[in-house]
Chain A
Amino acid sequence: EVVLTQSPATLSLSPGERGTLSCRASQSISTFLAWYQQKPGQAPRLLIYDASNRATGIPARFSGRGSGTDFTLTISSLEPEDFAVYYCQQRDKWPFTFGPGTKVDIK
């Protein structure tokens, strides 16, 4: 099973700051990595697919990069609605797996 590790577990930032979230895979997954945002009581929302492609309707302040085992999600300038939990997920090998999440909270 591909294990995804996310860091940091919590990221405390102020609105307008830049946030960088990391996801590391236990083996190479090419670019078959997605990022999701989840707010309390809501379903996850797809932000980025295949490592660097923004999903429909996702603002340009969200960007993803990486391949192989190391991936990052960057939020260029945090808006108040961006405070949430972010998960990475791989679809290269079954079972598809998620990372444990990074909580982005208000500093």
Chain B
Amino acid sequence: EVQLVESGGGLVQPGGSLRLSCAASGFSVSSNYMSWVRQAPGKGLEWVSLIYSDGRTYYTDSVKGRFTISRHNSMNTLYLQVNSLRGEDTAVYYCVRENQNWGRGTLVTVSS
């Protein structure tokens, strides 16, 4: 059974950093494309970042230069390093396998 469990969210001040993790089971994170999708409170969905099996990465414009997606194959874990956080980054961050399987999300709140 495919499972995705996110962690690492929390309350952080503007300009701060966090590392979000997604522990995967039931498949290999290196053999699928993996993504982070976020949803601000009461708002719609935004595809933030993606990493393909060959290592290519993509970012939506609003996070370029601030967020970094990566994976640790032997730990079967996906990461999102989020730096220089802004209020508009406040959201639930979901880990997604291709577009099929979603974790429950981890909440990032950026506030002073």
Contacts and interface: CB of A to CB of B under 8 A. Distances in A.
Interface string B8-38: 0000000000000000000000000001000
Contacts of A66: none
A43 B5 CA distance: 12
Nearest to A50: B99
Contacts of B44: 87, 98-101
Interface string B88-110: 00000010000111111100000
Contacts of B61: 95
Interface stretch (B45-53, B65-73, B74-82): B45-53
Given A97-B47, A98-B47, A43 B99 contact: no
Interface string A71-91: 000000000000000010101
Contacts, number: 43
B111 interface: no
Contact of A55 (B60, B94, B100, B104): B100
Nearest to A56: B100
Most chain A CB inside 10 Å of its own CB: which residue of B44, B45, B50, B60: B45
User: Interface residues of A: mostly helix, strand, loop or mixed?
Assistant: loop
Nearest to B4: A43
Given A87-B44, A100-B44, A95 B60 contact: yes
6 contacts: A42-B104, A43-B94, A46-B100, A95-B60, A97-B47, A98-B45
Interface of B: 35, 44-47, 50, 58, 60-61, 94, 99-105
